Structure 1
């Protein structure tokens, strides 16, 4: 079974290599990101986390994006960039190597 793996880069010490399985989805609490190299991982998108209100409407906070999703599609390695912090003022980029196992 595939996993949704939540990662808080601002509060967690990310190691150089993150090992996951094919089919896993990585959800970073971040304002941006992209795949630097490799084809084992692809970016799904950059999002603003929202919730469903009691009246059935979607409630979205004002502010920058706060979630980036990557999908581990096939075995191999990929280097991804994850941007944390305010993208207009004080962002920090972290490079994470993702190892995708079968």
Structure 2
């Protein structure tokens, strides 16, 4: 079997979603190894979830505030919260706690 590129697998992934068939049945009918099709489905499912799920955070433009933050909180998950202007200690406690 010749090598299939991302676009072709994505097209097959979309056709599978519309087909109502199981992944194994669709892969067999398309002549694709089941494990390969499972891999690509997982990749596309993960990509679509991350790109479509809204972030609970948003960037608020603050043109009138100083360019440098007065406080920065870095969470282990990689999220960074920067505080500009006057910082209320109670707010910082809520963000850290």
Normalising by structure 2, we get a TM-score of 0.22
Normalising by structure 1, we get a TM-score of 0.21
Structure of larger gyration radius: 2
Give the structure with the higher percent helix: 2
